């Protein structure tokens, strides 16, 4: 109701008073501060069933499909994998060969990209390999990276924002044999919870993408879904609960915190666990980023996970939704809780050494371009020699936040504007919030999978920006080899 009133007022001002009045109205409008009744049990995506084939490979089936979902507004038309909204959680262990058979029953082309996964370019699911309506695709690779919270989502040329917004996304959990995995809460759906956060804008009972007024970054919804659940709560039966936070929105940046401001432990970032838990009272996630946190609970209490202001107090931040606040998820502790303790150390991350870098490159994100160029599937922006280390200076030269993401590798942050990175950027990352005007110095090893004919992407993960061409390509080659794109 309030939304309609405010919207109506805005429209009135726009018609009668012109643009100036509309701007005054927009400036005067307070940021969102959404509170919900936590009256639905959190949906936990099922673990995807798998079979082991004759070659010992773990085989999953994913079907992209249309359906109808109850997202709090009756029957809403949505898309999902093996269901009407989102997809099952895929899970595999380091060293395991996996196969995913993808079928597309949607009325348009799609792809499935394995965000954060180190794998051959041919099965990476980029825009060069659309799966036509009614078509199928098989991705096969061997998982070879530390335990982490990864995800999968479509990556078709120019329609990624829409497809993700309608519900195409899922989690991919990688396991390994590090003792930290057993020491942390690890019972999926019980004390180890996927928390896929998305904001939605509804028009009547359907999802709307028209509410982009004043936004340069795409849809900013006023309703939050966690794993497709509006107003979610979850019952917890142990003293520690691990939340695998994933920003699966198309544009919105979150700053997660607990309702009473209490600290929690950040234990992992995009590509794996941190060396040790880091106590903090908030964690910011731009689109595509993940954080694993562990929250301590007392018997019988209710603790709310919220998102608070994520950007500065200037007008631009307000236009990006960076001053908005939301209820996200309520944790309901049982009257008696199983004791649990947080390990003091987690893993030992080898540090990549910039002195070993074979190449240093610089990329500036500005407008919809990277180094003044838009995506061209026929152009190679970087030729990387297999098994070398590279340093990239990634700069946001714009007055809008962007989110840098690179396929194939996990990187380490060496410096943020010349300064040592904060603890939340001390571990493996594949997606990075780029604050206005700042330069991030990152380092990665491109260990395997030379393929001169097939490109990997790097891009802004604000999906509207990605669709509008804020993307580049790199090719990994053997030493002395020249790239020769199959799609040029
Ligand atoms: Cu999460 Cu290139 O994407
Ligand atoms: Cu990706
Ligand atoms: Cu961007």
Spatial CA neighbour of 253 closest among 317, 159, 305, 193 = 317
Q: Residues near 241 by Cβ (< 8 Å), separated by ≥ 6?
A: 185, 191, 192, 193, 294, 295, 297, 331
- Residue 271 to residues 236, 333, 337, Cα–Cα distance (Å): 26, 29, 30
Look up the domain containing 205 and give its range: 182-338
Q: Are 178 and 282 in contact (CB under 8 A)?
A: no
Does some domain include residue 35? no
Using a 6 Å cutoff on CB, does residue 118 contact ligand 1?
A: no
pLDDT at 215: 64
Tell whether 427 and 453 lie within a shared domain.
yes
Does some domain include residue 121? yes
Q: Domain ends where: 157, 175, 193?
A: 175
In tens, the pLDDT along 42-75 reads: 999 999 999 999 999 999 999 999 999 999 999 9
Using a 6 Å cutoff on CB, does residue 288 contact ligand 1?
A: yes
Average pLDDT, the chain: 93
Q: Domain ends where: 154, 175, 196?
A: 175
Q: Are 112 and 98 in contact (CB under 8 A)?
A: no
Q: Domain ends where: 175, 199, 214?
A: 175
Does some domain include residue 94? yes
Tell whether 56 and 163 lie within a shared domain.
yes
Ion ligand 3 residue ranges (Cβ < 5 Å): 402, 460, 462, 465
Does some domain include residue 348? no
**Atom of ligand 1 at shortest distance to CA of 288?**
1
Residues of the chain with pLDDT under 70: 1-28, 211-215, 488
Tell whether 186 and 326 lie within a shared domain.
yes
**Atom of ligand 1 at shortest distance to CA of 113?**
3
Distance CA 325, CA 254 (A): 9
pLDDT at 4: 43
Tell whether 117 and 195 lie within a shared domain.
no
pLDDT at 24: 64
Tell whether 198 and 170 lie within a shared domain.
no
pLDDT at 89: 98
Tell whether 85 and 226 lie within a shared domain.
no
Query: Roughly how many angstroms between the first and final C-alpha of the chain, as a whole number?
Result: 52
Residue 148 Cα to ligand 3 middle (Å): 25
Please tell me the residue having the least CA distance from ligand 1 atom 3. 115
Does some domain include residue 343? no
pLDDT at 332: 98
Does some domain include residue 130? yes
Q: What percent of the chain has pLDDT above 70? A: 93
Distance CA 289, CA 245 (A): 8
pLDDT at 210: 85
Tell whether 327 and 397 lie within a shared domain.
no
Tell whether 381 and 437 lie within a shared domain.
yes
Does some domain include residue 344? no
pLDDT at 29: 74
Spatial CA neighbour of 220 closest among 92, 314, 324, 358 = 324
Angle at which helix 2-16 crosses helix 18-28, to 10 degrees, equals 150
Residue 246 Cα to ligand 1 middle (Å): 13
Tell whether 23 and 147 lie within a shared domain.
no
Q: Are 362 and 348 in contact (CB under 8 A)?
A: no
Residue 113 Cα to ligand 1 middle (Å): 7
Does some domain include residue 346? no
Tell whether 108 and 189 lie within a shared domain.
no
Using a 6 Å cutoff on CB, does residue 465 contact ligand 1?
A: no
In the chain, how many domains are there?
4
Tell whether 187 and 168 lie within a shared domain.
no
pLDDT at 212: 57
The CATH number assigned to the domain holding 51 equals: 2.60.40.420
In tens, the pLDDT along 329-340 reads: 999 999 999 999
Tell whether 119 and 49 lie within a shared domain.
yes
């Amino acid at each position: 109701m309030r939304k309609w009133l405010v919207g109506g007022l805005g429209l009135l001002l726009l018609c009668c008073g012109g643009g100036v009045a509309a701007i005054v109205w927009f400036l005067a409008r307070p940021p969102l501060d959404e509170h919900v009744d936590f009256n639905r049990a959190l949906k936990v995506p099922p673990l995807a069933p798998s079979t082991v084939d004759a070659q010992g490979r773990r085989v999953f089936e994913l079907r992209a499909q249309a359906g109808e979902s109850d997202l709090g507004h009756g029957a809403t038309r949505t898309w999902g994998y093996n269901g009407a909204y989102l997809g099952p959680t895929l899970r595999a262990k380091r060293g395991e060969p996996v196969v995913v058979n993808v079928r597309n029953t949607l009325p348009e082309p799609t792809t499935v990209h394995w965000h954060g996964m180190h794998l051959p370019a041919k099965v990476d699911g980029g825009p060069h390999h659309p799966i036509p309506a009614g078509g199928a695709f098989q991705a096969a690779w061997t998982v070879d990276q530390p335990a982490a919270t990864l995800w999968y989502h479509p990556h078709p040329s120019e329609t990624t924002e829409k497809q993700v917004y309608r519900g195409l996304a899922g989690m991919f959990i990688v396991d390994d044999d590090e003792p930290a995995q057993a020491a942390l809460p690890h019972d999926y759906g019980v004390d180890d919870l996927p928390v896929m956060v998305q904001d939605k804008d509804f028009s009547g009972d359907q999802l709307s993408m028209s509410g982009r007024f004043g936004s340069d970054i795409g849809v900013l919804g006023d309703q939050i879904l966690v794993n497709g659940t509006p107003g979610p709560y979850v019952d917890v039966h142990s003293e520690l609960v691990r939340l695998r936070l994933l920003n699966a929105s198309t544009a919105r940046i979150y700053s997660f915190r607990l309702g009473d401001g209490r600290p929690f432990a950040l234990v992992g970032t995009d590509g794996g666990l941190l060396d040790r838990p880091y106590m903090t009272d908030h964690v910011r996630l731009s689109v595509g980023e993940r954080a694993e946190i562990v929250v301590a609970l007392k018997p019988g209490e209710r603790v709310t996970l919220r998102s608070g202001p994520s950007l500065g107090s200037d007008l631009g931040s307000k236009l990006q939704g960076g001053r908005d606040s939301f209820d996200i998820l309520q944790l309901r502790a049982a009257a008696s809780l199983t004791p649990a303790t947080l390990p003091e150390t987690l893993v030992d991350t080898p540090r990549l050494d910039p002195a070993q870098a074979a190449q240093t490159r610089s990329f500036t994100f500005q407008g919809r371009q990277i180094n003044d160029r838009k995506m061209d599937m026929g152009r190679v922006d970087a030729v990387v020699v297999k098994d070398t280390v590279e340093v990239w200076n990634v700069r946001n030269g714009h007055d809008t936040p962007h989110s840098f993401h690179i396929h194939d590798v996990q990187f380490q942050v060496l410096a943020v504007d010349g300064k040592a990175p904060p603890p939340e950027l001390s571990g493996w990352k594949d997606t990075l919030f780029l604050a206005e005007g700042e330069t991030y110095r990152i380092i990665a090893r491109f260990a395997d999978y030379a393929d001169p004919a097939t490109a990997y992407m790097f891009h802004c993960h604000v999906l509207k920006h990605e669709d509008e061409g804020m993307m580049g390509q790199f090719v990994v080659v053997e030493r002395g080899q020249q790239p020769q794109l199959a799609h040029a």
